[in-house]
């Protein structure tokens, strides 16, 4: 009998001798919209046909009832029918008074053009004067986000909002930020660019490295934290009035871009760019993990031995696979990286002056500070073997002494 161009708005159908208002709302178990209907009268149809604002308002009041029905419960017909006369037939002031005690899907009204200031003041009918049949759901999402910010006491200035729009994080703060100058009011864009320039200068001397302990795409959390702190300190210092949300999104942008650059680089940039292939190039090296998977690195391999080892770690790392060994079997030397304990062991076979035939080993343990420390250890062993690690850590030969030191650090 009646259906607007936008097929989502409730439509009126004739069923036998009566009329029913049919609308979609909520979702079923398969996440598809559910369809509900309720009986209406000719007088209701006349208003729906003539007044888009009231059509949208009654739908906004019916939507919470459809959500309450869940995936398979029936609509509360009594509550739904009780909405019709007050919303469709009342004077504007009577409708507004009724809606003060009625749940509304307000974001839905905003999507269809509601004036937010009038809506928030309770003048719902007047707020829908400029309603349209075509929704703008981005506007509705921003309305929802603004309400949540207001609930936690956050108010955005025009510059704050412009920065969030520039990074694409006005609505979804957890998405990967990007640069979108076209999303910003041209009058505010120069100020936004100045803020970004401040952040870029603060992060210019920092970088985020790849972290094989977190897989092929993982990056170093400590590097991220250092860059975040540096950027936020610089931005807050230069723009003390910026909201925390704006400062956070700028640091997130800088860190995300640095992490993206890192994923196109080697796992150990220093080894790849600055460390020559020295004494160990003529030696075959063996990589193993805690699952006894083994891989050989041979002289002439296109990859640096350090990069090949970290590539092996990134491929094999897992919650139950956190011990990796790098060995020079010909010399009887190796290092064992104990990621779960932030530590490392270096091992060397030793000659037996007592004449026993069994192989004996010299084993020493060290606590590892961070990823950079692990990288230095791997580089040192590849370049110079067991003895090259002497100055890179405090070594302990007694396992009990080492375990006590590890626990002291763990528990502060």
Residue 267, pLDDT score: 93
Residue 273, pLDDT score: 65
Angle between helices 52-68 and 92-99 (to 10 degrees): 20
Rounded Cα distance, 187 and 296, in Å: 60
Q: What residues have CB less than 8 Å from 223, skipping those under 6 apart?
A: 206, 207, 208, 209, 258, 371
Residue 280, pLDDT score: 46
- pTM for the structure as a whole: 0.77
Question: Domain locations in the chain?
Answer: 11-142, 154-262, 269-410
Structure confidence by residue, pLDDT tens digits, 186-220:
999 999 999 999 999 999 999 999 999 999 999 99
Residue 353, pLDDT score: 61
Which residues of the chain are under the pLDDT cut of 50? 277-280
59 within 8 A of 107, measured Cβ to Cβ? no
Residue 329, pLDDT score: 92
210 within 8 A of 262, measured Cβ to Cβ? yes
């Amino acid at each position: 009998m009646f259906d607007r161009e936008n097929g989502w708005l409730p439509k009126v159908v004739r069923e036998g001798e009566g009329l029913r208002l049919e609308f979609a709302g909520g979702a079923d178990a398969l996440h598809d919209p559910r369809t509900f209907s309720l009986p209406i009268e000719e007088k209701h149809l006349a208003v729906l046909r003539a007044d888009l604002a009231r059509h949208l308002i009654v739908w906004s009041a019916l939507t919470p009832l459809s959500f309450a029905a869940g995936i398979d419960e029936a609509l509360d017909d009594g509550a739904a029918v009780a909405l019709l006369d007050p919303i469709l037939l009342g004077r504007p002031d009577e409708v507004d008074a009724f809606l003060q005690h009625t749940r509304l899907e307000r974001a839905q009204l905003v999507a269809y053009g509601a004036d937010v200031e009038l809506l928030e003041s309770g003048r719902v009918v007047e707020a829908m004067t400029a309603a349209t049949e075509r929704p703008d759901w981005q506007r509705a999402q921003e309305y929802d986000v603004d309400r949540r910010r207001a609930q936690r006491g956050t108010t955005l200035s025009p510059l704050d909002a412009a920065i969030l729009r520039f990074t694409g994080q006005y609505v979804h703060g957890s998405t990967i930020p990007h640069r979108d100058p076209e999303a910003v009011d041209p009058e505010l864009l120069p100020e936004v660019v100045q803020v970004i320039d401040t952040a870029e200068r603060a992060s210019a001397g920092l970088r985020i490295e790849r972290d094989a302990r977190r897989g092929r795409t993982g990056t170093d959390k400590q590097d991220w934290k250092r860059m975040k702190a540096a950027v936020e300190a610089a931005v807050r210092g230069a723009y003390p009035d910026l909201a925390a949300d704006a400062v956070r999104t700028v640091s997130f942008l800088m860190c995300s871009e640095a992490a993206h650059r890192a994923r196109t680089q080697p796992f150990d940039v220093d080894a790849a760019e600055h460390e020559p292939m020295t004494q160990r190039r003529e030696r075959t090296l063996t990589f193993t993990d805690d699952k006894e998977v083994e891989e050989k690195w041979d002289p002439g391999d296109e990859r640096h031995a350090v990069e090949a080892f970290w590539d092996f770690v990134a491929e094999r790392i897992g919650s139950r696979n956190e011990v990796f060994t790098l060995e020079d079997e010909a010399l009887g030397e190796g290092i064992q990286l104990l990621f779960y304990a932030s530590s490392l062991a270096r091992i060397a076979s030793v000659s037996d002056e007592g004449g026993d035939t069994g192989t004996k080993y010299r084993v020493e343990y060290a606590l590892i500070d961070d990823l950079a420390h692990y990288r230095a250890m791997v580089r040192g062993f590849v370049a110079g073997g067991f003895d090259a690690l002497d100055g890179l850590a405090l070594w302990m030969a007694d396992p009990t002494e080492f375990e006590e030191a590890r626990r002291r650090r763990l528990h502060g």
